[in-house]
Amino acid sequence: MSNATEAVSSSGGAQKVSRINEVVIRIAGNSQDGIQAIGGFLARLAGRSEQEVMTFMTIPSTISGGPSIFQVRVGSGEVLTAGDDADVLLCFYQHSYEGHINSLKKKGIVLYDSDHVVPKEEWLSDYHHVGIPISSLTVEAIGGTAKDKGKNIYSLGLIARMFDLNVPKLEKLLGERFGGKDVSILNNALAAFHAGYANSPSNVVETFQITDSQKKDGHQVVMNGNEAIGYGLIAAGVRFGAGYPITPWTDIMELLRRELPKYGGSFIQCEDEIASVSMALGASYAGRVAVTGSSGPGISLKTEAIGWAVMAEMPLIVINVQRGGPSTGMPTNIEQSDLNIAINGGHGDAPRVVLAPANVEDCFYMAIEAVNIARKYNTPVFFLTDQGIATRIEAFTEPNLEKVCQDISPDLTPVASHKPYDLAAKDGVTPHVKPGTRILDGKYPIATGLEHDEYGHPSGSPKVHMLQNAKRRKKLQALGATLPLPKIYGPSEGNILLVGWGSTEGPIREAVDRFRAAGDSVSAIHLRHVNPLPNGLENIFSGFNHVFVVEMNDEGLYGIGQLGTILRARYADAKIQGINKTDGLTWKVKEIVELVKAKAGK
Amino acid sequence: MTTLEASAKTLSLTKFMAGDFKSDLKPIWCPGCGDFGVVTAITRALANIGRAPHEIAFVSGIGCSSRIPGYTTAYGFNTVHGRSLPIAQGIKLANPELLVLVASGDGDGFSIGGGHVAHAVRRNIDITYIVMDNQIYGLTKGQLSPTSSRGRKTVTSSFGSIEDPVNPLLYVMGYGASYVAQGTPADMTGLAKIIEEGIRFPGFAFINVQSPCVTYGMEDQQLKAHKTNMQSLESIGHDPSDRAKATELAREYGTKLYTGVLYRNPNPPSTYGQGVIERHDALKKSAVPRHEILNRFKPSN
């Protein structure tokens, strides 16, 4: 919390009211306590109040139960990350209290359920302890056996009071969430909320008001990365998909299975990963740019068919919500260790496109970009996200949907003749003529995984193989030439350049801000197109003494991580080095700062 | 009338001959291979069906049999080993107007791709699945296949196989297939007939073709032996609507060579495609205009 000035509380309380620019709240409990729901309400409220918001959560990979946290950062200025340290810690159990007190700033507020938590003597002076018997007060408010279901909403009421949040808007959000067939569910939720809101703990000395943001033009939308991808694909005109359940990709599959049939589309849950990529390829061949997706081992299973898509030159969108690997690995952890398989997975020379959105807004727009690249270049496009971006809730300016929505229904207008693998095609880019299209010269092509001549007829000629390899390569090089160079965050010359990709843009930029505030010469670029890379990165690198590639993957045998290795190979520049970790959590700003200092000091 | 509709109209008046569905490519098959007969039977069936080549998607996996799309005139799709079924289902769902044929072999269909068969059967998408069953891996030069008999000696079973074979007929019957037939190029008329009937059947249709491998096949699996041994189901008075009897006869795979329609569900169940259409009709009203798709994420005040 920062910039405290006094104001008058709209709730009419007698306590001191401070105006703040931002706050970080961490909620810790077990996964069945509905703490993600509280965090989600806070994030959505912030979005609806035109404030910036970002969230971070961890979930255990168990069906029910297990420690879980949700962290939300709300602010009126630019919010880049979910925050390193919390201003407020709400904890339901002793283990949540003891496990997360370290993430609270000194003098921060620890709001604990005194039915379950006994404060520790040695922490009393460092943190402002506020104990409330949340469990028993929830029972008192809504009665009976509902305490585990209601204490999250009771706590939301407490937080609403403490931060002077907009009650009518929260009531409306509760109505949207719980308003259903059974009116008693909503009534219980509202009763719990108001009981929490009415509780004014005697030792809370101060409440807060988050200042309104000034910079926003137009409305905001608030969603998580998975939702942004799902609706981005719908806006892009995707109407067919196939998948298999695996964490954390499943959320996107569930969304598309629910939404696509409304728009005349289908999303099939297949018998396995291979069937799902194959079915999507069949649909793409038939004229729909289809989507499949997975995480972890599921991606490995799909690689043969993706190689086929490269060979047969078929459009396809492959969403990879990365998780910790190899093998079953760490299913609910955040990791960026699938860059290598995305770019190179499978046998043979099989160039394909790899995109990596940097934030939730990017997930929406890059999903559309992915579809258009796949259609234009007839290539599979990997879309790399991770748990960090998949479940992170952000607010962004509402897209101009009239402008971005497109219809990509297949065009079956007869053509005179067609060579799907025409070697004379400019930049190696050939159109895909869909089955159902009459070809007037009567020569119908074959789409095949065998090396082939220009009609797709199998060919064992080494010369044809070399020419077709070149065709598949050249079209991606042509795409690379159209890609914009990433904007440099900070001055274009200096001591250190940080290079990131994917979900880590926020913490990297915040680290740059901290360095620059301390007078250090640090800038950053963020790569959203990772294969092909945009041309001209060497001109950016030349402005810096050090280029540190910040990634959430292992440093690897040669100590430079996955993207680091690619950049080192392409630019043969020893100043390119890696900053890597695989602890399963998104980067904390202070971690980046410390590792950069250590690396630069060497 | 669009150009396409105009051309479709012209085409609907066109009568197709089997030769219209053959391509100029010369097959790589060994002289005398059973698959020559299968491609002929398929083109004859297609001529009777009367759909134009551009309205047909012919999908295959990998193996001798899977070269077939190259030897026909249609939209050919030579895919990944074992994956022809899911790919074909994707094509049919994305464009239900297409006639979708799938060619496979015993290895492609019942070994590496065996896991997809059960799901294709239960999903019941309107495609026709033709398996050229020669009880051997021919393209890779004579290894044991999932339908090779127990005791069979091959380059990968030098001392004789100690595994029982898959029974393709019983397999699909077990999962509830609604159209199951078996043929051999030794009876071209009968083969073309069951393929045509399979294509016309509304739903997933399975046709097992005993297609001899002249290079690695056994003596008793060749066309000459088929001519002697084959027994038409019609001639033994089998009623194809009798599921219990069909299942009983399917058990004799490997010992008897029955030809014709083993099972035809007299009340074909609804297909997946019909389910999709019903779902679309039911949900159409809950679709929002494109400029409102993100309204649920917007301030509602």
Helices then strands, each counted (H, E), chain A: 19, 23
Residues 114-133 of B with CB under 8 A from A: 115-116, 118-119
Q: How far is the alpha carbon of A322 from chain B, nearest alpha carbon, in Å?
A: 25
The continuous run of DSSP H or E covering B278 comes out as helix B272-283
B259-266 average pLDDT score = 98
From A177, which residue of chain B is nearest by alpha-carbon distance? B296
Query: Cα-flanking dihedrals φ and ψ of residue B26, to 5°?
Result: -90, 125
Q: Tell me which residue has tokens 């003098």.
A: A107
Cβ–Cβ contact B89 with A under 8 A: yes
Q: Do B291 and A402 touch (CB under 8 A)?
A: yes
CA distances (Å), origin A151, targets A40, A55, A157, A175, A524: 15, 21, 10, 17, 43
Q: Is the pLDDT of residue A435 over 90?
A: yes
DSSP state of A586: P
Distance of alpha carbon B25 from alpha carbon A458, whole angstroms: 10
Between residues B9 and A44, the one the model is more confident about: A44
What pLDDT score does A391 carry?
Answer: 87
Residues of B in contact with A266 (CB under 8 A): 93, 276
| pLDDT greater than 80 at residue A60 | no
Judged by average pLDDT, the poorest of A80-94, A133-147, A507-521 is A133-147
Chain B residues in contact with A270 (beta carbon < 8 A) = 86, 119
Q: Which residues of B touch A457 (CB under 8 A)?
A: 25, 70
Task: Report d(CA B129, CA B207) in Å as an integer.
Answer: 6
Residue A150 to residue B227: CA distance in whole angstroms: 76
Q: Does residue A55 sit in helix, strand or coil? A: strand
The reply to whether residue B55 touches residue A436, judged by beta carbons under 8 angstroms, is yes
Task: Check whether A11 has a pLDDT greater than 60.
Answer: no
Is pLDDT of A480 > 90?
yes
Residue numbers in B near A435 (CB within 8 A): 54-57, 75, 91, 95, 98
Average pLDDT in the A2-10 region? Answer: 47
Query: What's the pLDDT score for residue A176?
Result: 84
Mean pLDDT of B271-284: 96
Q: Which residues of B touch A40 (CB under 8 A)?
A: none
Location of each CATH 3.40.920.10 domain in chain A: 5-210
Q: Contacts of residue B271 in chain A, CB cutoff 8 Å?
A: none
Cβ of A221 within 8 Å of Cβ of B298? The answer is yes
What ipTM was assigned to the predicted interfaces of this complex? Answer: 0.94
Percent of chain A with pLDDT over 90: 71
Per mean pLDDT, which range of A299-303, A434-438, B22-26 is the poorest? B22-26
Compare CB distances from A282 to B62, B94, B279 and report the shortest one's residue.
B94
Which residues share a beta bridge with A547?
A497, A576
Give the Å distances, CA to CA, from B171 to B109, B147, B276. 12, 12, 27
B69 and B27 Cβ atoms separated by less than 8 Å: no
Q: Is the pLDDT of residue A144 over 90?
A: no
CATH 3.40.50.970 range(s) for chain A read 221-404
Q: What is the mean pLDDT of residues B277-291?
A: 92
Instruction: State the virtual CA torsion across A89, A92, A96, A102 in degrees, nearest 10.
Output: 20
CB–CB of A492/A543 below 8 Å? yes
Q: Is A257 on the interface with B (CB under 8 A)?
A: no
A317, A233 Cβ separation under 8 angstroms: yes
Per-residue pLDDT, B183: 98
Q: Which domains does chain B have, with CATH numbers?
A: 3-267 (3.40.50.970)
Which tens digit of pLDDT belongs to each residue from B160-183? 999 999 999 999 999 999 999 999
Average pLDDT, integer, range A240-251: 96
Sheet arrangement for strand A5-7: A5-7, A16-20, A206-210
The answer to whether the CB atoms of A274 and B93 lie below 8 A apart is no
The CA–CA distances, whole Å, from A165 to A46, A113, A158, B264 equal: 9, 21, 10, 67
The DSSP output letter for B253 is: T
Which residues of A, range 46-105, sit inside 8 Å of B by Cβ?
47-48
Task: Say what the pLDDT of residue A10 is.
Answer: 46
pLDDT digits over B129-157, tens only?
999 999 999 999 999 999 999 999 999 99
Q: Collapsing DSSP states into helix, strand and coil, what is residue A213? A: coil
For domain A221-404, the CATH architecture is 3-Layer(aba) Sandwich (3.40)
Q: Is A221 on the interface with B (CB under 8 A)?
A: yes
The pLDDT of residue A199: 85
CA-CA-CA-CA torsion for A342, A345, A348, A353, nearest 10 degrees? -10
| Cβ neighbours of B85 in A, within 8 Å | 275
Contact at 8 Å (CB) between B76 and A445? yes
Q: Is B149 exposed, middle or buried (0-12, 13-18, 19+ CB in 10 A)?
A: middle
Q: Which residue of B has its CA nearest to A433?
A: B75
Contact in structure between A185 and A142 (CB atoms under 8 Å):
no
What is the rounded CA–CA span in Å between residue A510 and residue A512? Answer: 5
What is the rounded distance in angstroms from the CA atom of residue A227 to the CA atom of residue A243? 16
pLDDT per residue over B185-244, tens digit each? Answer: 999 999 999 999 999 999 999 999 999 999 999 999 999 999 999 999 999 999 999 999
Nearest CB to A439 within list B54, B279, B283 = B54
Check if the beta carbon of residue A494 is closer than 8 Å to that of residue A460.
no
Residues 529-588 of A with CB under 8 A from B: none
CB pairs under 8 A between A and B: 199
Q: Residues 289..308 of A with a Cβ closer than 8 Å to B: which?
A: 290, 304-305, 308
Average pLDDT along chain A? 91
Hey, what amino acid is at A175? G
Question: CB B88 to CB A285 under 8 A?
Answer: no
CATH number of this structure's domain A494-601? 3.40.50.920
At residue A8 the predicted structure's pLDDT band, cuts being 50, 70 and 90, is very low
Structural contact between residues A52 and A59, judged by C-beta atoms closer than 8 angstroms: no
d(CA A401, CA B296): 14
**Do the chains contact at A448 and B286, CB–CB below 8 Å?**
no
Please give the pLDDT value at position A251.
95
Say yes or no: B96 contacts chain A, CB-CB below 8 A. no
List, by residue range, all CATH 3.40.50.920 domains of chain A. Answer: 494-601
Query: Could you tell me the end-to-end alpha-carbon distance of chain A, in angstroms, rounded to an integer?
Result: 35
Closest CA of chain A from B70, distance in Å: 7
Residue A15 has pLDDT above 70, yes or no: no
| Confidence tier at A463 by pLDDT (50, 70, 90) | very high
| CA–CA separation, A459 and A223 (whole Å) | 49
Q: How confident is the model over A331-375, as pLDDT tens digits?
A: 989 999 999 999 999 999 999 999 999 999 999 999 999 999 999
Compute the distance between CA of residue B129 and CA of residue B89 in angstroms, rounded to an integer.
11
Q: Are A306 and A258 in contact (CB under 8 A)?
A: no
Q: Looking at the predicted structure, is the pLDDT value of residue A412 above 50?
A: yes
Q: What is the pLDDT of residues A504-534, one digit of tens each?
A: 999 999 999 999 999 999 999 999 999 999 9
Chain A residues 315-374 with CB within 8 Å of chain B: none
Chain A residues with CB under 8 Å of B280 CB are 261, 264
Distance from CA of A93 to the nearest CA of B (A): 32
Q: Whole-angstrom Cα distance, residue A22 to residue B95? A: 52
| A184 vs A542 pLDDT, higher one | A542
CATH number of the domain at A5-210, please? 3.40.920.10
Tell me the pLDDT tens digit for each residue of A569-602. Answer: 999 999 999 999 999 988 999 999 999 999 998 5
Chain B residue with Cα closest to A46: B299
